[in-house]
Amino acid sequence: MDLSPELRIETLEQEGGRIVDLATPANLDNPVPSCPDWTMRDLVSHLARIYGWAGTIVEGQLQERPDRDALPARPEEMSVVDWLSDRLDFLLGALRRTPRTVPIWNFTGTPAPAGWWIRRQANETIIHRVDAELAAHAAVTDVEPPVAADVVDELFELFGFEATDLEGFDHAADLWIHLHATDGEGAEWTIDTGARRFSRAHMKGDVALRGPSFSLARWLTGRASIGTLEAFGDTAAADAWRASIEF
C-alpha cells in the first residue's frame, strides 16, 4: 500500500501514545496474552529499547548495526513508562529530521532509505499496541483499512516471501492460503506456504480466510484466533502454518 511517510509517522505517534496511556502503574505486572512470559512492564521496556535503538540508527544515519550496550540506559529516577515516552519522542524527532532518501542500515542486510524505518516502527507499534490493550483488558481498537493492509504487505516482505503472480506454479505441491480483506478494494493475498511466495491477487487456495484487513493482520501476527475470520477449508493447517512463521 502506498502510504505517505507523514501518515506513517502520525500513526506511530498515535499508536505509541496509546501504549503509554495504557501502561499504568496498576497493570505493569499484568501478563500479555499474545506474548507468552511477558508482562506489560516487559512490553514497555522492549519498546523503549527498540525506539532508542531505531532512533539512534536514523539520527546518526548509520551504515552498520550499532552496539545496543552503548545505547543510553533508563535513568534510575525515571519510570519505565516515562522512559518509553521519552524514547518515543526521540524516535519521532529522528524520523522527522532525517531526509527521506538517505540510505540507512537496517536488519535485512541491505541499506534502505529512511522511510524503511518509518514504516517498520509504525507497523511494529500497531501490533504492540494490540498487545498492550490485551494486557490492560481494554477493547482492541481498529486501524484504517489501508494502514492494516500495509501491515500485512510488510510482513511478507520483511520475512522474505517472494512477490510473484503465482501463475504456472504447482498448486498441488503445497498448502495455499487465500486472504481476502472485506474492507479494502484489491486487498487480497494468496500464499504459497511451501515455497514462501505470495501474490496480491484473487486466486483459489486450499484455505480461504475473509475479514477486515486488521483482523487478517492480527491473525497473521498471532494476535487473534482464526475464529474471528470467515474461514473455508483446512483451518487447522492454516493455523499450523501461521504458528510456524516467526512474524
Cβ atoms 179, 191 nearer than 8 A: yes
Query: For residue 70, what pLDDT band results from cuts at 50, 70 and 90?
Result: confident
State how far the Cα of 125 lies from the Cα of 8, in Å rounded to an integer. Answer: 11
- pLDDT, residue 174, reads 85
Per-residue pLDDT tens digits for 167-221: 777 777 789 999 999 998 889 999 999 999 999 988 888 999 999 999 999 999 9
Q: Read off the pLDDT of each residue in 133-153 and give the average, rounded to a whole number.
A: 96
pLDDT confidence of residue 171: 75
Domains of the chain: 5-135 (1.20.120.450), 145-244 (3.30.1050.10)
Residue 2 has pLDDT above 80, yes or no: no
Q: What mean pLDDT do residues 113-118 have?
A: 96
Q: Which of 58, 76, 74, 75 is nearest to 66 (CA)?
A: 58
Q: What is the mean pLDDT of residues 154-158?
A: 92
Specify the length of the chain in residues. Answer: 247
Residue type at position 54: A
Residue 154 has pLDDT above 60, yes or no: yes
Q: Which one, of 157, 139, 124, 150, lies nearest residue 213 by Cα?
A: 150
Q: Is the pLDDT of residue 247 over 70?
A: no
8 Å CB contact between 152 and 220 = yes
Cell reading at 138: 481494554
How much is the pLDDT for 233?
A: 96
Mean pLDDT of 220-232: 95
- Write down the H helix ranges in 136-163: 145-158
> What is the model's pLDDT at position 109?
84
What pLDDT sits at residue 181? 97
- Of 150-159, 166-175, 221-230, where does mean pLDDT reach its minimum? 166-175
pLDDT of residue 173: 72
76 pLDDT band, cuts 50/70/90, is very high
- By percentage, how much of the chain surpasses pLDDT 70? 99
Going by the DSSP 8-state scheme, the letter that residue 195 receives in this structure is T
Q: What is the pLDDT of residue 1?
A: 52
Residue 157 has pLDDT above 60, yes or no: yes
Give the number of other CB atoms < 10 A from CB of residue 214. Answer: 25
Residue 144 pLDDT exceeds 70: yes
Quote the percentage of the chain above a pLDDT of 90: 84
Residue type, 221: T
Mean pLDDT of 24-44: 97
Q: What pTM does this model have?
A: 0.94
Summarize the confidence of residues 149-163 as an average pLDDT.
93
